[in-house]
A and B are shown apart, each in its own frame.
Chain A
Amino acid sequence: MQNSGSQTPRVRHRKRSSEGFQEASKANGSHLLVHDQNKYRSMLIRTYSTVWMIGGFALVIYLGHLYIAAMIVVIQIFMAKELFNLLRRSHEDRQLPGFRMLNWHFFFTAMLFVYGRILSQQLVNTVTTDMVLYKLVSKLVKYHMIACYALYIAGFVWFIVTLKKKMYKYQFSQYAWTHMILIVVFTQSAFTVANIFEGIFWFLLPATLIVINDIAAYIFGFFFGRTPLIKLSPKKTWEGFIGASFTTMISAFLLASIMGRFKWLTCPRKDLSTGWLQCDPDPFFRPEYYTLPRWFSQLFPWKEVAIMPVQWHALCLGLFASIIAPFGGFFASGFKRAFKIKVCNLEQS
């Protein structure tokens, strides 16, 4: 029932709470959502948890860039902890004291590297008022890369020194897993935080589209789902997939227009303050007026429509969210299944 890496940890969380429920009644051949008897009760549970999560998320968005980055860091720490624990074998670990510390050393190095690079300019801009602090921070930022490299080399040497005879394979595998986990966790969060400081819009819109895609796929599958989509996730259906794609594209177009009107969402943050934002809106967010064709304006009252250029880009984001993002979910399903198989084998032997 563990978390694995994918684009939307929050969405995965929601899927988990329900899948545990329905795994009990998995004995039948076809277990599409349309045929499930308990589906209305599980839908209530899903709705309840979804409302709470969306509410919490909206609060964090309101609080601002720094708090969103903090939320992401917290999610990251939990993801890394779960993934580190996923593949350890406790009987081998007992013979290797201090080996777990190595994971957290590399985690700390990755934190320093990734957030140092992304937030260094913002950090420098925050301390321009104080002369002493400015010099200190500038020097830290100047030597940031070599400090991270030195920390990584120290971790590498530490790993070599702790190699114990007969446990080489386990230790090398753990080393490779640590790197893999940190790369998966930090690539996502690095790009997310970088996007946030360019403007919350660039984090909020894609995240919202993924949520809408998931919810729409669930609802379409709930009412219309007949044809299974992929063997990996037996409850996903083609009807859900296609319905969700349309819904996502339309809401991308509309949401981009709505979100683009708020300066809080579209302005980049140049420092680490939490105050109100003011800026010149990017040409992306300036509405352009298109006159509607004659036959349209005869039926409807609008003569021209205001479309921001960002809405066209949002269509592309919507396309990606509806077609590629479900594969992230399939990856997570496959990953969970791959490691559940392993656990079953250990229990049998």
Chain B
Amino acid sequence: MAMQNGSSQTPWVRHRRHSNEDVQEASKANETHLLVNDQNKYRSMLVRAYSSVWMIGGFALIIYMGHLYITAMIVVIQIFMARELFNLLRRAHVDRCLPGFRMLNWHFFFTAMLFVYGRILGQRLVNTVTSDKVLYQLVSKLIKYQMIACYSLYTAGFVWFILTLKKGMYKYQFGQYAWTHMILIVVFTQSAFTVANIFEGVFWFLLPATLIVINDIAAYFFGFFFGRTPLIKLSPKKTWEGFIGASFTTMISAFVLANIMGRFQWLTCPRKDLSTSWLQCDPGPLFRPEYYTVPKWFPEWFPWKEMAIMPVQWHALCLGLFASIIAPFGGFFASGFKRAFKIKVCNLKHS
């Protein structure tokens, strides 16, 4: 059974969908298996709610602890994603003839780590060690030669790959080489941008992640209560009612959450070094509330005569739009990917 992860923007949301899909895959014999028609749906909802609460709780704890710990969490997720994806496409019987070939994957992984995090965190590392003269010179030199060191490591891996090419297995090895690159690019592009965003301000990681979570949860609830029309053949349980309801919910919560999150300096200040202490800064024009008087056509009972809206809230509306329209496609990609490789597994079992 393919419980493997595919790549998408929110690994832990995908995880939640996993635990439930198993329960319902058993009762897939029927034609229509929309969530509204499912008998077991209340039990599965409890399971989902329980795991969601734990995951959101753990996530909130890490946000509280700070930038460095969030980065560490992302690195750990990355390592697990890469390992699963590396294993997804290896063929064990072919691999036994190629000792040391697996090491090549991890060599490229290590090179990518050094490259990506060296570039993003290089300046911050230098800022952390300004107090110590020796360490400062050492770190500055490392940062200066970071690119050429990574290039040398990559070239060494390339040469190693050529030297391990074995007659009769060229196609498998080239295929694996291409997959390694593809996997590393998928895993590291996401995490590189995420970590870069975090050090600009936890807000820029927390808001999009929260919107994706809200979109997913809202799509589930709207589908649970109102879902009738299937959305796409790839994911038979998704419905148009869920999609549209979730879009509205996401846009509204984007507007509201940006306001709430924008008040905390812990979330809006950029981190210039690798410390874990409290942050103080001038938040910048994006987070300064501007006062708008409520227009005349608003009803009389509306208690507020003027509203304080931060410019970031308008940007958050765009983020909400993206989260509600494009993000579900990430889920469809993962579904299609799982399906593409489950087909392969079944074929091997038949033959």
A contacts, CB < 8 Å to B: 153, 156-157, 160, 163, 165-166, 168-169, 171-172, 176-177, 179-180, 183, 231-232, 324, 327, 330-331, 334-335, 337-339, 341-342
Expressed in whole angstroms, the Cα–Cα distance for A171 and B340 within the complex equals 9
What CA separation (Å) do A337 and B159 show in the bound complex?
18
Q: How far is the CB of B84 from chain A (nearest CB, A)?
A: 16
Residues of chain A within 8 A of B171, CB atoms compared = 338-339, 341-342
Question: Chain A residues with Cβ under 8 A from B344's Cβ?
Answer: 169
Give per-residue flags for B247-261: 1 if the beta carbon is below 8 A from chain A beta carbons, else 0.
000000000000000
B interface residues with partner A (beta carbon < 8 Å): 155, 158-159, 161-162, 165, 167-168, 170-171, 173-174, 178-179, 181-182, 185, 233-234, 326, 329, 332-333, 336-337, 339-341, 343-344
Q: What are 23 pairs between A and B in contact, CB < 8 Å?
A: A153-B326, A156-B329, A157-B329, A160-B234, A160-B329, A160-B336, A166-B343, A168-B339, A169-B341, A169-B344, A176-B178, A176-B182, A179-B182, A180-B181, A183-B181, A232-B165, A324-B159, A334-B162, A334-B165, A334-B170, A335-B174, A337-B170, A341-B168
Instruction: Collect the chain A residues with CB atoms within 8 Å of residue B173's CB.
Output: 334, 338
Whether the pair A169, B343 counts as a contact (CB closer than 8 A) is: yes
Cβ of B326 and Cβ of A157 under 8 Å apart? yes
B333 and A156 form a contact (CB under 8 A): yes
* Contact, CB under 8 Å: A331 / B329: no
A180: chain B residues at CB < 8 Å are 178, 181-182
Q: Is the interface of B mostly helix, strand, loop or mixed?
A: helix
Contacts of A169 in B (CB 8 A): 340-341, 343-344
Considering residues B155, B168, B170, which has the most beta carbons from chain A within 10 angstroms of its beta carbon? B170
With both chains docked as a complex, state the minimum distance between the C-beta of A345 and any C-beta of chain B, in angstroms: 10
Distance A342 CA – B170 CA, assembled complex (angstroms): 10
Bound form: Cα–Cα A163–B336 in Å? 8
A179 to B181, CA, bound (A): 10
Query: Chain B residues near A339 (CB, 8 Å)?
Result: 171
Bound-complex Cα distance A324 to B185 (A): 24
Chain A nearest CB: distance from B234 CB in Å? 6
Is A330 in contact with B337, judged by CB distance below 8 angstroms? no
B115 CB → nearest A CB, Å: 13
Q: A47 to B337, alpha carbons, bound, how many Å?
A: 50
What is the predominant secondary structure among interface residues of chain A facing chain B? helix
Q: Please, which residues of chain B bring their CB within 8 A of the CB of A337?
A: 170
Q: A179–B182 Cα gap in the complex (Å)? A: 8
Please indicate the chain A residues that have their CB under 8 angstroms from the CB of B168 in the complex: 341
**Candidate in A324, A334, A342 with the most chain B CB atoms within 10 angstroms:** A334
Are the C-beta atoms of A232 and B181 separated by less than 8 Å?
no
Pair A338/B326 contact, Cβ less than 8 Å: no
Q: Give chain B nearest CB distance to A16 CB in angstroms.
A: 18
Q: Are B162 and A331 in contact (CB under 8 A)?
A: yes
- The residues of B that contact A156 with a CB separation of less than 8 Å are 329, 333
Q: Give chain A nearest CB distance to B73 CB in angstroms.
A: 25
A157 CA / B326 CA spacing, docked (Å): 8
Given A160-B329, A176-B182, A183-B181, the answer on whether A338 and B174 have CB atoms closer than 8 Å is yes
What residues of B have a CB within 8 angstroms of the CB of A341 in the complex? 168, 170-171
- Residue of B179, B233, B336 contacting most chain A CB atoms (<10 Å): B336
* Contact A163:B165 (CB < 8 A) given known A172-B340, A177-B178: no
Closest Cβ neighbor of B182 among chain A residues: A176
Check B185 against A183 for contact (C-beta < 8 Å). yes
Q: A180-B182, A330-B162, A331-B158 are in contact. Are A168 and B174 (CB under 8 A)?
A: no
- Alpha-carbon gap, A338 to B333, bound state (A): 29
* A179 to B186 CA separation, bound complex (whole angstroms): 10
A172 touches B336 (CB 8 A): yes
Q: Which residue of B lies closest to A341 (CB)?
A: B171
Please give me the residue from chain B that is nearest to A153 by CB atom: B326
Please give the distance in Å from A99's CB to the nearest CB on chain B.
14
A163 to B329 Cα, complex, angstroms: 12
Separation of A168 and B347 alpha carbons in the complex (Å): 14
Task: Choose among B179, B326, B336, B339 the residue that contacts A176 (Cβ–Cβ < 8 A).
Answer: B179
B339 and A324 contact, CB distance less than 8 A:
no
Known: A163-B336, A176-B178, A335-B170. 11 other contacts (CB 8 A): A153-B326, A156-B333, A160-B234, A160-B333, A168-B336, A168-B339, A324-B159, A331-B158, A331-B162, A334-B173, A341-B171
Asked if A172 contacts B170 (CB within 8 A), the reply is no
Contacts of B333 in A (CB 8 A): 156, 160
B159, B179, B339, B340: the one within 8 Å of A327 (CB): B159
**CB of A26, distance to nearest CB on chain B (Å):** 15
